[in-house]
């Protein structure tokens, strides 16, 4: 199968891009950034667009800035730029590590952090990482700019807080200079989407601990009981930790089968253990 016919336009700036997307109220115009997911979905006709609005070169989506407390990464920042530390890293090495485990280098060269968040694949890596880091998603639409916490932005499989004709402009991430972190991904083969991915960030000075999980039947979620348990108990009892993770999974992934549940328990325990090394 191949994609249905579409027009291709490349706007000069963000305002023009939003106008083009707003001009097609039936959703026939779609943004394309790295194209690493959208072109696959269009080829399978899971996604169809009359017009592709190429946002990959918009200067506003390439903006990168760093302040004392936070780092802003434009939505067009690629996985490879984060992996190669070509942009500031607010996470003391966590984000480059997560980036390096996404797909293959050719996908990482083109795929973007904004595109990954906007797509909200239930097995994608960035949603769990950005939830664990307590990042904000910066959004622009015809009515101006707004932001959502990463954990509120992803709402279901391929479902986000984006309204029609809104774009992710960038990700605003607090510095985690003194954080201890761990992450673990279980996938059927190297470079594949996660069966389970856990990201744990524990920083007594920079904020409370946060453990987030991807690979659920729905979307990436925070595990609140496990986050608190791992933060408060310096000596972890494996049986208690496992029971706490399972209690969180009843809310976070209630439909998980035995395989998926074992994957989640394993990735969560390994991520916490790595942060304790
Ligand atoms: C073989 C393969 C393996 C992969 N493995 C993994 C993996 O292990 N982990 C993982 O996380 N991902 C994986 N991916 C997905 C990859 O990371 C994609 O690059 C990413 O999910 C989408 O980014 P993109 O820039 O290519 O977005 P695109 O494909 O261009 O767009 C994806 C969707 O997001 C929308 N969009 C794009 N940018 C914006 C924006 N700024 N604002 C609003 N909407 C926007 C588009 O309209 C479209 O609906 C894999 C992809 C492939 C092809």
Give yes or no for residue 271 CB within 6 A of ligand 1. Answer: no
Candidate from 95, 105, 107, 131 with most ligand 1 atoms within 8 A of CB, to mutate: 107
Q: What is the mean pLDDT of residues 42-58?
A: 94
8 A C-beta contact, residue 183 and residue 194: no
Which residue's CA is minimally distant from atom 43 of ligand 1? 167
pLDDT band at 206 (very low <50, low <70, confident <90, very high): low
**Residue-range domains of the chain with CATH:** 7-54 (3.30.43), 60-174 (3.30.465.10), 180-276 (3.30.390.50)
Give yes or no for residue 77 CB within 6 A of ligand 1. Answer: no
pLDDT at 202 over 90: yes
Give yes or no for residue 36 CB within 6 A of ligand 1. Answer: yes
Assign 165 to helix, strand or coil.
coil
Give yes or no for residue 80 CB within 6 A of ligand 1. Answer: no
pLDDT at 207 over 80: no
Which residue's CA is minimally distant from atom 48 of ligand 1? 38
Quote the pLDDT of residue 205. 63
Give yes or no for residue 214 CB within 6 A of ligand 1. Answer: no
pLDDT band at 115 (very low <50, low <70, confident <90, very high): very high
Give yes or no for residue 170 CB within 6 A of ligand 1. Answer: no
8 A C-beta contact, residue 61 and residue 94: no
pLDDT at 174 over 90: yes
Candidate from 36, 77, 184 with most ligand 1 atoms within 8 A of CB, to mutate: 36
Which residue's CA is minimally distant from atom 50 of ligand 1? 103
Report the C-alpha gap between 274 and 277 in whole angstroms: 5
Quote the pLDDT of residue 177. 87
Quote the pLDDT of residue 276. 86
Give yes or no for residue 141 CB within 6 A of ligand 1. Answer: no
8 A C-beta contact, residue 139 and residue 169: yes
pLDDT at 128 over 90: yes
Assign 153 to helix, strand or coil.
helix
pLDDT at 25 over 70: no
For 61-108, write each residue's pLDDT tens digit. Answer: 999 999 999 999 999 999 999 999 999 999 999 999 999 999 999 999
Is pLDDT larger for residue 2 or for residue 141?
Answer: 141
For the chain, how are helix, strand and coil distributed in percent, rounded to 5?
A: 35, 25, 40
- CA dihedral for 238, 241, 247, 252, sign (positive or negative): negative
pLDDT at 120 over 90: yes
pLDDT band at 237 (very low <50, low <70, confident <90, very high): confident
Q: What is the mean pLDDT of residues 182-186?
A: 97
Candidate from 111, 117, 220 with most ligand 1 atoms within 8 A of CB, to mutate: 111
Burial 252-275 (b: 16+ CB within 10 A, else e): bbeebeeebeebbbbbbbbbbbeb
Q: What percent of the chain has pLDDT over 90?
A: 87
pLDDT band at 208 (very low <50, low <70, confident <90, very high): confident
Q: What is the mean pLDDT of residues 119-136?
A: 97
Closest CA to 129 of 87, 182, 85: 182
Q: What is the mean pLDDT of residues 192-206?
A: 88
pLDDT band at 277 (very low <50, low <70, confident <90, very high): confident
Q: What is the mean pLDDT of residues 108-122?
A: 98
């Amino acid at each position: 199968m191949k994609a249905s016919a579409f027009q291709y336009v490349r706007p000069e700036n963000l305002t023009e891009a939003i106008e083009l997307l707003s001009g097609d109220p039936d959703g026939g115009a779609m943004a394309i950034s790295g194209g690493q997911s959208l072109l696959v979905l269009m080829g399978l006709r899971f996604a169809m667009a009359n017009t592709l609005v190429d946002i990959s070169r918009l200067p506003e989506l390439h903006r990168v800035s760093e302040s004392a407390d936070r780092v802003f990464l434009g939505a067009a920042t690629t996985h490879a730029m984060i992996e190669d530390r070509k942009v500031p890293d607010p996470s003391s090495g966590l984000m480059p590590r997560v980036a390096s485990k996404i797909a293959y280098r050719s996908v990482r060269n083109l795929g973007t952090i904004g595109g990954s968040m906007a797509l909200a694949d239930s097995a994608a890596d960035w949603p769990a990482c950005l939830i664990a880091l307590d990042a904000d998603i910066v959004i622009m639409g015809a009515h101006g700019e707004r932001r959502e916490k990463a954990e509120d932005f992803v709402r279901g499989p391929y479902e986000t807080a984006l309204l029609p004709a809104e774009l992710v402009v960038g990700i605003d991430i607090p510095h985690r200079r003194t954080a201890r972190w761990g992450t673990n991904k279980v996938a059927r083969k190297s470079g594949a989407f996660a069966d389970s991915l856990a990201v744990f960030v524990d920083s007594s000075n920079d904020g409370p601990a946060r453990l987030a999980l991807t690979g659920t039947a729905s979307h990436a979620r925070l595990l609140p009981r496990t986050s608190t348990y791992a933060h408060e108990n310096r000596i972890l009892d494996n049986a208690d930790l496992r029971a706490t993770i399972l209690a969180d999974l009843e809310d976070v992934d209630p439909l998980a089968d035995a395989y998926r549940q074992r994957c989640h328990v394993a990735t969560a325990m390994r991520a916490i253990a790595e942060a304790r090394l």
